[in-house]
Each structure stands twice: as structure tokens, then as C-alpha cells.
Structure 1
Amino acid sequence: MQWTRAQISIIAVVAVTSFMGTFLISSVNIALPAIERDFGLDAVSLSWVITSFLLATAMFLLPVGRLGDLKGVRRLFKFGVLVFTLSSLACGLAPSGFWLILFRYVQGVGAAFTSTTGPAILVSAFLPRHRGRVLGLAVSAVYLGLAFGPFAGGLLTQYLGWRSIFLVATFFGGIAVLVAYLFLGKDEMRQEKPAQIAFGGTIFYMLGLVALVYGSAHIDKPLGWLLMGAGSFALLGFWWMESRSTAPVIDTRLFTRNRLFAFSNLAALINYSATFAIVFLLSLYLQKIQSLSPRDAGTILIAQPIMMAIFSPLAGRLSDRIQPRYLATLGMSMCTLGLGAFAFLAESTPIGLIVALLVWVGLGFAFFSSPNMNTIMSSVDKSQYGLASGSAATMRVLGQIVSMTIATLFFAAMLGGEAVEQVSDALFLKVVKWGFISFSLISVLGIYFSYNRGQIKR
């Protein structure tokens, strides 16, 4: 297969933006202690350095996806790259914790624009038989960001300071802006008049997400549960309004009448809900129970995303030839077994076994993710590519939030508000055990949706 210069440019700019989004998530986690010292932030404020980015991304993914289908995905992608790059520079120059959190929110908005429109641009630029391959390359870039982030973030923070992470992101973002505006081209002219969008329900969607995320940060208090309940009702109100709107942001019929689309999105939500907190729990386990340094713990944790990065393109290519549901179900089953095995972690668990389990789960995630994304994008009409990619990205971010909420719930319920360093090893291992048991049970449900989604019609 020979690609044109335009196609190579599209793959390059989408891959760079996909890499930078996850690179920042994983590298900033390593830099949090340094940020805390510089700005004197408390624990809750410090958590919002991460949460504000995820929240903004989740809030804007669906609206941007729908807007891209109507106004043009390439135009919105360029705007998103520019916002992401400028906000990265602002983060690196932030004078206080408040401004850093605010700029991180803006950065999340830019990431929402690029992560929603990027896959739509890819699938529209390549023949259907090559979708799995190019989507696999984009997914591989995501996992390379996750793998490279902790190591590079640690080195940058130690030798150049935490601000250098955002300045590096600004440099790569500048390259992406240059390539996007020079080679990405313009959207195809539409003959018909663009439809209007009713954004009224989106207000309920955004408010619901804010209430859920803020409530999950206070899950050990009645206010937290009240906010999460209010957020759930707001999201139900959003769904009700969208179902009855003549110009909805999201076509709810895709979820009620398109089983392939609906089940694939549910499988993605479940997979991320079950697997995202793995690194969070294992990072604490390796440093508290195994007494490893942050550098050594980060080196071990690289095993999982490296497998994702290596095998995602292969799984994507296979999904062009084999029905994706078989590959995705295999991957989900592997993740389920790995999560169940992590529930038996003990003080004497060999490091080699932990690495082997991370390799196993990483391989399973690779076989799930690319074929699942291929299914989502292949289950809709070309005019709905933006909505489909936005929906898939929304499932990813919501799954990440759910996964961290479950982990937080066990910490709040079993540790009684104490710091991890202060509790006994036995009690901490109990938290880890029940966390992984919960994740493995959730993942079993994902196997059902993954297998019963149906077949792609080539």
C-alpha cells in the first residue's frame, strides 16, 4: 500500500497529538510532588491539576464530535491543536496553582477537539480496508505516550523542573500546528445546507459531568453522594432531551437501534473502567509494599503500555481481515484474567510475576482497543464519523473517571481518611485486593458486550 504525502501528513499530525495527550497525563502525575512544593497546594487542589484536564475533555468530546460532522472535522482539528499548544505554553508559565488548574482545563478543551476529530479525519482519508491499520497506528501513539510519560516526566522534572514538561509539549504542539495548517487541507464542500444543532441538552450533560467528578472527589462525605446523584439525574435529563430533539448533539438512535455501535461503546466504557486504575494501584503497591523508588516503579509499569504500543497496529491490521468482535473479546478476556490475578498480590509477590501480568494485560488491551475502535467507526455512515469518534473518546474518558472513582471509594471506605504511608501493609493489600476483584467482575460484563455486538458488514 502506497500513501500520498497528504495521507502521511494526516497520520503524522494525528499521531503526534494522540501521543502528547497521554504523555502529559502520565508525565504530569510524576511531577505532582514538585508542583505541590512550588505552589503550596493541598491534596484536593493538587488532584485538580489532573482532574481539570480530564473533566474538560469529557465535557467537550460529544459536542465537538457533532459539530465536526456539520462544520468540518479538519477545521476543528486545527483549532484544537492551536488551543492545546498555546495552553501548554501557558501551563509552563503559570504563576500560581489556580492559573495552572485553569490552563490545564483549557488544555483539556484543546485535547477534546483533537481526540474527537482525529480518528474521523483518518478514516475519511483512507480506504475502508485500511481503517484498522491506520487506527492501530493512532492507538499505538496513545500508548507510546503512556509508556514514555513516566520515564521522561521523571527525568525532566528532576533535571529541568516540572515546567519543562509543558514546554516540551509546546514544542511538539508547534510542530503539529505547522504540519496541520500546511498539509491537512480543508474539509470537502457540502452541497446541502448545514443542519442546526440544539445545544440546550448539552448544558445538562456538562453540569452532570461536573457534579459527578466533583462529587467523586468527596465520595467519603454526604455532599459527594448528593452531587453524584444530582449529576446522574442531569445526565438522564440530557439523554431525555436529546431523544426528543430535532437537532440533537448526539443521535440517541445510534445507541437504541444500532447494536453494533452501542455494544462496542459499552465495551469500551467497561474496559477503561476496569483497567485505568491499574497503574494507580500498582504504583502505590510497588513503592509501599515492595519498597521500590519512583524511578524503578515507573520502569516496571512501562511494561503494560509498551505491549499496547507494539501490538495495537498488528491487532488493527488483523481486524481488517478477521471479524473485530473475536479479537476484542479475546483481548477483554485476557484483561479479565490479568485483573483477577492482581487481586492475589502479596508482600512476597516476585517482581518478575508482576511484569509478566502487566505484559499479559497490555497485550489483552491491544487486542481489544484497535479492533473495537475499528468496529465503532465502521458501524456508522461517513456523515457520522465525528460523532462516532467523539463517542468513543467520551467512553474512554468516562471510563477513566469511573475507574478512579472506584479506587477512591475503597480508599475512603477502608483507610478512614489516613494517608497510604500511615496504614499497615496488610490493610493496604486488602484495599488492593478488593479493588482488583471489583475491576475483574466489571470486565466480565465487558466480555458479554464485546462478543454479542454482532458482525461488521465489509
Structure 2
Amino acid sequence: MTGAAGPVPVEAADGLPPAERLWAMGAIGTAMTLAVLDGAIVNVALPVMARDLGVSPGAAIFVTNGYQLAVTAALLPLASLGDILGYRRIYAIGLALFTAASLACALAPTLPLLIAARILQGLGAAGIMSVNIALVRFIYPHRLIGRGVGTVALVVAIASAAGPTVAGAILSVARWPWLFLVNLPLGLLALAAAIRTLPVTPRSGGRFDALSALLNALVFALLITGVDGLGDPGERGLALLLLGGALVIGTAFVWYQARLPAPLLPVDLLRIPVFALSMASSICAFSAQMMAYVALPFYFHDLLHRTSSETGLLMTPWPIAIAVIAPVAGRLSDRIAPGLLGGVGMLGMAAGLALVASLPAEPATGDIVWRLTLCGLGFGLFQSPNNRVIITSAPRERSGGASGMQATARLVGQSLGAAMVAVIFGLMHTGGTVAVLWIAAGLSLTGAATSALRNPART
């Protein structure tokens, strides 16, 4: 709610009025679009960046990895700060940092400075991603939370699908710094709207645990770096060592967190069965989707002998289907048990993946398209209801922790999925893409089972 002096608290209110809700979701949608796009569009420009900065392609990869590591490591600490300081404040600070870091990325004259700016940009993106679903819980009345969650899922799906196209369009008329400069006007516009319209939420009054934040960063840095290295036979020994370190530190981290009244890693929320099952479902779903996204271009190009342009077009039905069904699924989850919707969705995705893996040697384009559309519809039917359960099954004052866990599950699932593809490709010289699709179908079935196990009365 807003007044002459700006937003007022909504501690006792059930969401914002419709007009203010629209502006608030516009701010969230714009910021989420920028954060998701910047995780994808830079990949297209890496060869050009490497050439302009005079570095090897392998070194340029850290421009992407630095951003991803910063986002993953900072999600839970910033979600905890959201509980302590208020979600609106963390969101605005994250958006301001993201926008300023975008300018620094565009002006960076060397690779080390560009990587440093990308890390700062990733920290800003983590501020946006860590509390966006928590804010939705206060923007929408309880009976319409599924609608808000579906809107966010729609934004993420569109931004993810549009990433390569947007990058190609910008690079066709401008140099790579413009990939970051375009963030400035949109970021400032979203920041102005966020400050004006996002609700002021209750604060826990707790203290930030710096030791927990450090342990969290170490665990995720070791985990993501180790998982990335599994695909390279020459680095597999080091990767296993890093994963072992992540396991040891992670065990100590969980032990420490279990003894805190308001832990940074919300192990208290994981004791809620429906929350834990929803997190497991999310990791399975995003792992399966990423496995398919990485393997399908190889499948189309190497086994089905499609051209690069055909491969690109064949990849579009999946995200388009998600964008179509996600808001519908969000609205349905306000009236139908989300566990049921999610289970049906993951069964559909599993069936679609199995049908793609079973394609004949020379399938018609239409046969490929409807199978991938089924995958996208299944994932979209799952995602919005599942996110609704994650945020609503947590106590209202722990919305930040729940929101951070939701985003962390997505990123961890995607990282694990990509790593599994790399390992399978390294072990299987032929038939690896088909094996990946079958394993992804199996993960989808696991996600369907964990989703269906949730208590319909509560989910």
C-alpha cells in the first residue's frame, strides 16, 4: 500500500489493492527478467568477449561461472537478511547493485575486472531472486497466491527462452558491452517502481549469522565447482576432491544450522514434510529439464541430422509451452490440490521425454514438436503449484527462507543436471544423448512421486 510518503506496512493486510498489485508485480517482473536474462545471454557472446579482451575461450568461461557461483552462494544469506531487514529492502538493494554492476561490466577493460563486475552483478541478482516469491506472498491475498507465483514462473520461462535470441539481436547491431548497458534504463525504472510500490513486510528482529553465511558460500562454491569438473576426465580427480570437501563442510554446516532457532539454511522448514517433498520435487524437475536442454541439441544435430537453425527452432516448443501453461497452473493451484497438479505435470514431462527418446531415426518435425510441447506443458503444470506450496507451507515470518530455498533448489537442480550430462557424455561415446533423455524421464517420475506424496488437505 502506498501513501504520500511511500509504502506502508502490510503486516495485517491480506495483499495489496489490485492497482498497486499490478505496479508491484511489474517491478518484480522487470527485475526478474533482467536477472534471468543475464544468466543466459552472456554465453552467446563469450567467443567475442574472449577475442576482444585477448584471452582464451577457457578463461572467458569464468565470466559466466563467476555470475552463477555468486548467485548460488548468496541466495540463502540474502534470504536470511530479508527476514531480518525486510524483503523490500533486500530486493531494492539487490536491484540497485545489479544495475550498477551492469555498468561496470560494460566498461570493464580487462577480463579480471569483468569477472569481478560479474560477481557483483551475481550478488545483485541473488538479492532479486532470493526474496521475490516472499514478496509475492505479501503482494497477493492468500486466496490468489497461486496466480502471483504463476506470473513469476511465466516471466522466468519467457526470459529463459528469449536469452539467446535477445543476445543475437543485440550483437547483430552492437558490441558485447551493450548486453549490459541495456540493463541500465530497465533496472532504474524497476528500482523506482520497487521503492514506490513494494510492500513493507514484517522484520524478524534477529541477527545475521556471518559464520553461517561463510559456511554456506564454501559449501556451494565447492559443490558447483566440483560438479562442473566431473565432465572433464582430466579434472575428475580434483572434482571428486572438491565434492568431498563440500560433503564434509556441508555436514558440519547442517549440524550447526540444526541448533539455531532461525537458521540461515532453513533446516527447520525441511522438517515440514510437505516443504521437504516440494524441495525434492523441484530439484528433480529442474535437473531433468536441464539434462534435456543440454542433450537435445546434440540429439537433433548428431542423431537426427538436423541443421543448426532447425535445432534452434525445435528447442522453442518446450519454453513456449511453459509460458502458456504456467499462469494457468498458478490459478488452478488456488482451487485444486497443488500436489495433484504437480504430480500430473511431472508424469506428462516424463512421458514426453520417453517419447522423444523413442523417436525413430527419421521422425517428422511434427512428431518432435508435439512431444516437446508435452514436456513443456508438464513442467509448467508442475512449477507454479510446486512453488506455491514451498512459499505457503512455511510460516509467514519465514517467507524469506522459503523463497531462498525455492531459488536454491532451481539453481542446484540445473547445475546437477548439466553435470550429469557431462559425465554421461564422457562415459558413453555413442548413444549418450538417448541415455540422458531416459535418465531425465526417470528423474521426472521421481519428481511425480514426491509431488503426489504430499498431503492433499494441506497442499
TM-score normalised to structure 2 length: 0.90
CA displacement at 1:196 relative to structure 2: 2.1
RMSD value over aligned CA atoms?
A: 2.2
Provide the residue aligned with 2:137 in structure 1.
Answer: 123
Provide the residue aligned with 1:424 in structure 2.
Answer: none
Q: Report the Cα distance in structure 2 between the residues aligned to 1:173 and 1:233, rounded to whole angstroms.
A: 40
- Residues 25 and 294 (structure 1), Cα distance of their counterparts in 2 relative to 1, 3 Å cut: farther
Q: Report the Cα distance in structure 1 between the residues aligned to 2:90 and 2:407, rounded to whole angstroms.
A: 16
1:83 to 97, 104, 111: 97
Unaligned stretches of 5+ in structure 2? Answer: 1-14
Provide the residue aligned with 1:197 in structure 2.
Answer: 208
Provide the residue aligned with 2:256 in structure 1.
Answer: 241
Provide the residue aligned with 2:117 in structure 1.
Answer: 103
Q: Report the Cα distance in structure 1 between the residues aligned to 2:309 and 2:109, rounded to whole angstroms.
A: 28
Q: Report the Cα distance in structure 2 between the residues aligned to 1:304 and 1:118, rounded to whole angstroms.
A: 24
CA displacement at 1:346 relative to structure 2: 6.3
Letter matched to residue 383 of structure 1: E
Letter matched to residue 271 of structure 1: A
Select between 202-211 and 386-395 the one with higher mean Cα deviation: 202-211
Letter matched to residue 227 of structure 1: L
Q: Report the Cα distance in structure 2 between the residues aligned to 1:298 and 1:285, rounded to whole angstroms.
A: 12
TM-score normalised to structure 1 length: 0.90
1:329 to 334, 339, 343: 343
1:252 aligns with 2:267: yes
SS across alignment from 2:61: helix
- Residues 306 and 74 (structure 1), Cα distance of their counterparts in 2 relative to 1, 3 Å cut: same
Q: Report the Cα distance in structure 2 between the residues aligned to 1:165 and 1:296, rounded to whole angstroms.
A: 25
Provide the residue aligned with 1:284 in structure 2.
Answer: 298
Q: Report the Cα distance in structure 1 between the residues aligned to 2:114 and 2:355, rounded to whole angstroms.
A: 39
Select between 294-303 and 7-16 the one with higher mean Cα deviation: 294-303
Select between 89-98 and 131-140 the one with higher mean Cα deviation: 89-98
Letter matched to residue 234 of structure 1: I
Q: How do 1:146-225 and structure 2 match up within 5 A?
A: 146-184=160-198, 186-188=200-202, 194-219=205-230, 220=233, 221-225=236-240
Q: Deviations over 1:169-218 (max 9, x none)?
A: 23321211121123335445x5xx71223332332221121112222232
SS across alignment from 2:209: coil
Q: Report the Cα distance in structure 1 between the residues aligned to 2:367 and 2:149, rounded to whole angstroms.
A: 31
CA displacement at 1:224 relative to structure 2: 1.2
CA displacement at 1:30 relative to structure 2: 2.4
Contact 1:379 1:456 in 2 (8 A): no
Contact 2:284 2:443 in 1 (8 A): yes
Q: How do 1:377-456 and structure 2 match up within 5 A?
A: 377-415=391-429, 427=430, 430-456=431-457
Q: Report the Cα distance in structure 1 between the residues aligned to 2:249 and 2:416, rounded to whole angstroms.
A: 17
Q: Report the Cα distance in structure 2 between the residues aligned to 1:445 and 1:163, rounded to whole angstroms.
A: 42
1:62 aligns with 2:80: no
Provide the residue aligned with 1:418 in structure 2.
Answer: none
- Say how many residue pairs are matched: 441
Select between 247-256 and 62-71 the one with higher mean Cα deviation: 247-256
Q: Deviations over 1:360-399 (max 9, x none)?
A: 1111111000000111111111101111111101100100
Select between 244-253 and 83-92 the one with higher mean Cα deviation: 244-253
Q: Report the Cα distance in structure 2 between the residues aligned to 1:208 and 1:39, rounded to whole angstroms.
A: 32
Q: Report the Cα distance in structure 1 between the residues aligned to 2:175 and 2:41, rounded to whole angstroms.
A: 12
Q: Deviations over 1:214-259 (max 9, x none)?
A: 2223222211111111112221221111012244213312212x11
